Amino acid sequence: MTIRVLLADDQALLRGTFRLLIDSCDDMEVVGEAADGHQAVELARSHRPDIVLMDIRMPGADGLAATASICEDPDLASTRVLILTMFETEEYVAQALRVGASGFLGKYVTTDALLNGIRTVAAGEALLSPGATQALITRFLTLPTSGPPLAPTERLADLTPREQEVTVLAAHGKSNDQIAQELFLSVLTVRTHVQRAMTKLGARDRAQLVVIAYQNGLVRPAPPHS
């Protein structure tokens, strides 16, 4: 199946470069280009892409506002947003995940990392592997927010002990393969547990599942290194 990608970036040169890279792959294609957040939302609604590759700082509505609009639209439930920006700050990472983004990459990433990131998010997983992003998530996702948690705490009781265990490991940045090795399960079984946890908690994807786990205290952030 071909992954349909919408590009949202105010720099035409970057959009052109990303288009060349993506269109050179047999398993993906660019279906549209947006120069600001408003266009990104409009084109997402008209093209229904699998992935929106979203910059944060754009004129008019920025990438975070556009991401929120896309992720809140029930007609775009199958569209996932991958943030790609030069401004890879703690605050932006936390905000992007809270509004529904499925991944966050800096524009310094290699070509292979970008293309693999698109494939990862399109497969329903999130770019929450250990490393810089995981450190940011662990430190900042429990900061107070103006809105309520994505899922009320009592809904965690709907998870089976195994689903909770898998959710905790996912929140620590472990991939399905790593979770399977740690729990002596098949990758398919882990994927099933993750999917069931997402369904029970109303999470649109793995990234939102992790946010819910932190917001509701299922996982506690490690103290930042001094």
> With 90 as the cut, is the pLDDT of residue 217 above it?
no
Banded pLDDT at 19 (limits 50, 70, 90): very high
- Secondary structure of residue 196 in the 3-state scheme: helix
Report, in angstroms and rounded to the nearest whole number, the Rg of the chain calculated over CA atoms: 17
- Alpha-carbon distance values, 182 to 3, 116, 119, 170, 177 (Å): 31, 24, 24, 12, 9
pLDDT recorded at residue 155: 77
Q: Which residue, chain included where needed, has tokens 């199946």?
A: 1
pLDDT recorded at residue 131: 42
**Which has the higher per-residue pLDDT, 37 or 139?**
37
Please state which architecture CATH assigns to domain 3-127: 3-Layer(aba) Sandwich (3.40)
Handedness of CA 208, 209, 211, 216 (dihedral sign): positive
Distance separating alpha carbons of residues 38 and 75, to the nearest angstrom: 17
> With 60 as the cut, is the pLDDT of residue 163 above it?
yes
CB count within 10 Å of CB 106 equals 14
Fold category of 153-215 in CATH = Arc Repressor Mutant, subunit A (1.10.10)
pLDDT recorded at residue 85: 76
**What does the pLDDT look like over 189-203, one tens digit per residue?**
998 999 999 999 888
Cβ-contact 140, 128 below 8 angstroms: no
Classify strands 80-85 and 103-106 as parallel, antiparallel or unpaired. parallel
Distance separating alpha carbons of residues 187 and 156, to the nearest angstrom: 23
Q: Is 104 exposed, middle or buried (0-12, 13-18, 19+ CB in 10 A)?
A: buried
Banded pLDDT at 177 (limits 50, 70, 90): confident
CB count within 10 Å of CB 70 equals 27
Mean pLDDT of 32-61: 94
Q: Return the domain boundaries, the chain.
A: 3-127, 153-215
> With 60 as the cut, is the pLDDT of residue 173 above it?
yes
**Which has the higher per-residue pLDDT, 38 or 225?**
38
**What tokens appear for 43 in the block?**
């084109």
pLDDT recorded at residue 108: 78
Q: What is the pTM of this model?
A: 0.70
Instruction: Report which listed range, 88-92, 130-134, 156-160, is most confident.
Output: 156-160
Distance separating alpha carbons of residues 151 and 215, to the nearest angstrom: 8
Banded pLDDT at 130 (limits 50, 70, 90): very low
